[in-house]
Structure 1
């Protein structure tokens, strides 16, 4: 109901004027009722209506001036809304000042009225009675101004989302802060009604009966206004806080499509804007991590996003797995480029799946080859066993596909694992003898029936159940090395049935 009234007041050309006049007339009504209950009108004599008539002249003039200015304000502050367009930055900033501007003007209209009332009542009222009357008018004006502020501040709230789009959502005006709202609400609900009550009780002219009934009236007015104003303030704070809590809960559970509507020009509005920025930044980070991860691997992407752009790294014992296509030069000449790339992509998809399922990292693609690392950047308690499993899975998938032939080499050793490059361009890589050895074994593996060769260090570090799948192939003098390397290959299915007890690689070497 209140929301519909607010929208009506925004759309109607004289809605703002009606709202402002209602607030001011309510203050004037409270004052007149209070004067009547306190017996002041009776003390003016039987012709009190005649004496009050001149006093009514200024409120009439003030009301007409206020209505005219409020109608002018409707065009000045809401012209862009009538034209159904987005406000300019100047119009958006101007709108934020509307509550305090109208409140200040209401006070300015009340002050001459207080002075005029004092001058007109001076000849017919005892000096001490006049002080009470003036105090009632002053407090009534303050009550009306404070009420005007709260109503107009609530009135412009539906326009705040459009204003925030223009101003960036982080702009507030000092007059719309939560502190100001709390202070104004306190004035409406407590301070002013209590000061008016003190004034009535301290009136030395009124009889006790009049003071009591006026005090009861002011208490009812204070309680009624306090209930409405406090409920409005509580709702203005609690509703966005509830929305923010739900939004943060959704973000915490991974829902990054959250967007909180900005409905306030106070600190709450800035908080709503901050939550939207948080969700937006997390979405961007998630997008970057996914795109980045497709190029360098999810673990490396997470490491880079968490650690910044420093050139860092450490020494790790890892297992390197190298895959290379056999006869790729001949294939590239026989097939159309698109066909060759399609075959290659299917192979590399198999390599990525087998590696990541075994907690490894596809460190880089080198044309028709791929280097996979187990043990960096994420350390593994056993990096040899998953590497051997991945190698067998890749070989079996390639053989089943029948499109390409590959060689797979595995080696294990101490390497540098970290970032290399410059401050503006980094690459995560591994450098060490194990990588070179794996590449050399890959070349030799292309001529091995099972298409896989692993170094002795890999077999020694593997779990016993995985070693059962491997046998010593031969010792090979790899290119660039002075000592031969003991090379292992996996058992064919028939060999596995015939030699089920070969679990210890060292005992096999002895054989």
Structure 2
């Protein structure tokens, strides 16, 4: 119900005027009832009606002027809403000034009225009662202005999300939580209590009138206090509950959560920050996923956290190279989609075996893949996991029987880091160990079960892993001056590749 009234007040041409007028008439009504209950009207004498009419002229003129000006404000501050578009930056910032602007104008209308009405009534009341009248109207004006501020501040809240889209995370000094608390305290506590003190201190009213008026003012203060504090509590508690739920969702991995920005206070800034947090985490997760496809999920996670330097250094690594046997013939015999599907299944096996053993699939080169153990994440033993990965790749690919492969493993000093231009970098490894692994792969295509590893890898592996390997032969690899001592696993010594896997 309240939400519908607020939307009506925003969209109706006279909605804002009605709200502002109601707040001020309410203040006048409270003052008028208070004066009647305190016996003030009876002290005006037989011409009370004339005096009361004269005193009512300025309030009537002020209310009319306020109504007209509020209608002007409606079109000035909400013209973009009528046109069905977003506000410009200047329009959005101007809208945030609306509560304080209307409040200042109400005070500008009330305060001269206090002086005028007090002067009109001064001749009809004892001199010692004039101060009470002035204080009563002044406090009534302040109460009306403060209440209007809170109401208008609540009134514009539905359009704050649109303003937040235009201005981003913005705050307005007049709508801070501190200012709201102070104004709410003044409206709910300070002003009613000061009015009550004024009534009790009235030297002209008799005891019964003072008691009756004090009870009335206490009830008014309680009603206004309940309404004001309930509105304030809801304005703070509801968004905080939403923020807590959003943060719980983010903590559990829901990065699509968004919080509506409904305030120009610190709470609204916090709502905007939570949305930025969720968006940044979602972007980070997207980067981790995309980056992880290139360098592996573990490397991506550590690189994004800043614990791994990818700019480059020289280190000893184990390089594992995998290549498909007779790939040219296969690509001509098979349809492109069929060949790529088989190749993808092979590379999935390579990725799984490599990452499970702590390595990095550094790059895919057509139907070949280069895997690195020991960079960018250093391993205490990079030879043993490389050998385990080689055996697993060989066995799983042979079991499927779709493709025939050769695997070469070498170990040595390489440069591992980013290579390329400022606008396009690639993390890679460059060194003799990579070249040796590639050459061993070419020879492994003709070896039993298709694995050849260098002597350096065997020497660096654990004793348990070395026991699974045996010397194959010494080969003069293309482009190398010295012959290379090659090893293959014991299960492959004297064995032949099944014919269906060739």
Q: Same fold (TM over 0.5)?
A: yes
> Does residue 26 of structure 1 match 2:26?
yes
By how many angstroms is 1:372 displaced?
A: 0.4
Equivalents in 1 of 2:228, 2:439: separation in Å? 81
Equivalents in 2 of 1:343, 1:3: separation in Å? 61
Spell out the pairing of 1:204-243 with structure 2 (5 A cutoff): 204-243=203-242
In structure 2, the residue corresponding to 1:450 is in which secondary structure?
Answer: helix
By how many angstroms is 1:364 displaced?
A: 1.5
| CA RMSD, Structure 1 to Structure 2 (Å) | 2.9
Give the TM-score of the pair, scaled to structure 2.
0.89
Equivalents in 1 of 2:442, 2:100: separation in Å? 81
Structure-2 residue corresponding to 1:142:
142
CA deviation map 1:179-222 (0-9, x unaligned): 22222112201222232233333333334443343333333322
Spell out the pairing of 1:96-175 with structure 2 (5 A cutoff): 96-165=96-165, 167-175=166-174
- Which consecutive residues of structure 2, in runs of 5 or more, have no partner in the other structure? 496-502
In structure 2, the residue corresponding to 1:359 is in which secondary structure?
Answer: coil
Checking the alignment, whether the CA contact within 8 Å between 1:421 and 1:427 is kept in structure 2 is yes
> How many residue pairs align between the two structures?
495
Equivalents in 2 of 1:57, 1:309: separation in Å? 79
Equivalents in 1 of 2:473, 2:18: separation in Å? 99
Checking the alignment, whether the CA contact within 8 Å between 2:92 and 2:167 is kept in structure 1 is no
By how many angstroms is 1:110 displaced?
A: 1.2
Equivalents in 1 of 2:385, 2:47: separation in Å? 106
In structure 2, the residue corresponding to 1:154 is in which secondary structure?
Answer: helix
Structure-2 residue corresponding to 1:187:
186
By how many angstroms is 1:384 displaced?
A: 3.0
In structure 1, the residue corresponding to 2:449 is in which secondary structure?
Answer: coil
Equivalents in 2 of 1:351, 1:430: separation in Å? 18
Structure-2 residue corresponding to 1:396:
395
> Does residue 274 of structure 1 match 2:286?
no
Equivalents in 2 of 1:197, 1:56: separation in Å? 24
Equivalents in 2 of 1:38, 1:317: separation in Å? 97
Equivalents in 1 of 2:379, 2:70: separation in Å? 73
Equivalents in 1 of 2:435, 2:364: separation in Å? 15
Equivalents in 2 of 1:310, 1:471: separation in Å? 37
In structure 1, the residue corresponding to 2:203 is in which secondary structure?
Answer: coil
Checking the alignment, whether the CA contact within 8 Å between 2:294 and 2:362 is kept in structure 1 is no
Checking the alignment, whether the CA contact within 8 Å between 1:452 and 1:490 is kept in structure 2 is yes
Structure-1 residue corresponding to 2:453:
454
Structure-1 residue corresponding to 2:51:
51
Equivalents in 2 of 1:435, 1:375: separation in Å? 13
Equivalents in 2 of 1:434, 1:249: separation in Å? 49
In structure 2, the residue corresponding to 1:370 is in which secondary structure?
Answer: strand
Give the TM-score of the pair, scaled to structure 1.
0.87
Equivalents in 1 of 2:313, 2:214: separation in Å? 81
Equivalents in 1 of 2:339, 2:223: separation in Å? 82
> Does residue 258 of structure 1 match 2:257?
yes
Spell out the pairing of 1:427-442 with structure 2 (5 A cutoff): 427-442=426-441
CA deviation map 1:115-172 (0-9, x unaligned): 221221121223331111101101100100111111111111112222222x233233
Equivalents in 2 of 1:70, 1:468: separation in Å? 91
Equivalents in 2 of 1:208, 1:462: separation in Å? 103
